[in-house]
């Protein structure tokens, strides 16, 4: 986790990737407005870049909580407001809703079917306050909708097929490249039947992301299944077999799945998984990877 002050005070613009019209509003300036509306930052994450000149302007994500946390608490989860920004032109100011579950360290980002409020970098400072207020009002409305959805998910009991369908969808979101045709060809360099390996590994990962880490998630409800899958996909920490490139070919070796640290990928997967869970709630079947052994 990066120092939050360094993130909030990111200033200027990266000239190589932005135009003179780019107004380098700092995240700190937006945060000041958000604090006036009852939201305060408590964590941040910054994209790691090898380009030293680009580092002061890199994409970052700040998570904010309500000043009065107890007033916003609903059961086992708390509302969150997420702010994403970059002064290198790779991201606009984006504000979107999420939840923080008290029994785990994962933030749950609400899906792409919910509106994301954006604050343009070309905005003048005298209009910033109104833009932030509009973004907060919109996001708080999304939080109300998300709260109702969570209560509904808690009442829905999934079948084994539905749980495996959501898990398979999640595996595809996180590890789709592993099961691609190009990877199948590479794996075929070292084993006679790569289809058998990939199909077996897919089933293993589906089982792994369904595993319950804590007793509170030992339920077949959509809410608890979603939480177990989301945490496993984001946090990793279970054994997988993964192809590794080496000079002259590919070796398939056992490794420990890593925690997902990429900001863009984490947000993408979180929101897509939420969307998938909503479709499950509506009785739909999610697309999963077509693998046969």
The structural domains of the chain, with segments of one domain joined by +, span 4-154, 157-281
The pLDDT value recorded for residue 222 is 98
φ, ψ at 74 (rounded to 5°):
-130, 105
Triad 177, 178, 184: Cα angle to 5°: 110
The pLDDT value recorded for residue 36 is 95
The pLDDT value recorded for residue 205 is 94
Residue ranges, the chain, pLDDT below 50: 1-2
The pLDDT value recorded for residue 10 is 66
The pLDDT value recorded for residue 1 is 39
Three-class SS of the chain: CCCHHHHHCCCCCCCCCCCCCCCCCCHHHHHHHHHHCCEEEEEEEECCCCCCCCHHHCCEEEEEEECCHHHHCECCEEEEEEEEECCCCCCCEEEEEEEEECCCCCEEECCCCCCCEEECCCCCHHHHHHHHHHHHHHHHHHHHHHHHHHHHHHHCECCHHHHHHHHHHHHHHHHHHHHCHHHHHHHCCCCCCHHHHHHHHHHHHHHHHHCCCCHHHCCCEHHHHHHHHHHHHHHCCCEEEEEEEECCEEEEEEEECCCCCCHHHHHHHHHHHHHHHHHHHCCCCCCCCCCCC
The pLDDT value recorded for residue 247 is 62
The pLDDT value recorded for residue 170 is 97
The pLDDT value recorded for residue 2 is 45
The pLDDT value recorded for residue 44 is 85
The pLDDT value recorded for residue 57 is 76
The pLDDT value recorded for residue 144 is 92
d(CA 22, CA 88): 9
The pTM score is: 0.88
The pLDDT value recorded for residue 120 is 82
């Amino acid at each position: 986790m990066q120092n939050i002050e360094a993130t909030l005070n990111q200033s200027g613009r990266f000239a190589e990737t932005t135009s003179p019209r780019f107004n380098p509003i700092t995240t700190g300036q937006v945060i000041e407005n958000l604090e006036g509306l009852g939201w305060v930052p408590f964590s941040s994450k910054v994209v790691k870049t090898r380009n030293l000149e680009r580092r002061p302007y890199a994409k970052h994500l700040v998570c904010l909580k309500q000043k009065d946390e107890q007033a916003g608490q609903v059961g086992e989860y708390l509302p969150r407001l997420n702010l994403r920004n970059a002064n290198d032109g790779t991201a606009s100011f984006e504000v979107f809703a999420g939840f923080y579950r008290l029994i785990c360290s994962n933030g749950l980002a609400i899906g792409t079917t919910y509106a994301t409020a954006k604050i343009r970098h070309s905005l003048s400072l005298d209009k910033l306050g109104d833009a932030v207020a509009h973004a907060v009002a919109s996001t708080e409305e999304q939080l109300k909708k998300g709260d109702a959805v969570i209560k509904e998910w808690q009442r829905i009991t999934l079948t084994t097929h539905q749980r495996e369908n959501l898990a398979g969808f999640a595996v595809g979101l996180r590890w789709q490249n592993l099961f691609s045709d190009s990877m199948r060809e590479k794996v075929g360099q070292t084993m006679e039947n790569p289809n058998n390996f990939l199909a077996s590994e897919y089933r293993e990962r589906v089982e792994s992301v369904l595993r319950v880490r804590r007793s509170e998630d030992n339920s077949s409800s959509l809410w608890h299944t979603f939480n177990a899958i989301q945490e496993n996909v984001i946090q990793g920490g279970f054994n997988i077999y993964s192809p590794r490139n080496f000079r002259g070919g590919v070796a398939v070796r056992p490794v420990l799945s890593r925690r997902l640290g990429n900001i863009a990928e984490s947000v993408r997967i979180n929101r897509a998984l939420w969307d998938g869970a909503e479709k499950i709630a509506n009785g739909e079947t999610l697309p999963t990877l077509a693998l046969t052994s």
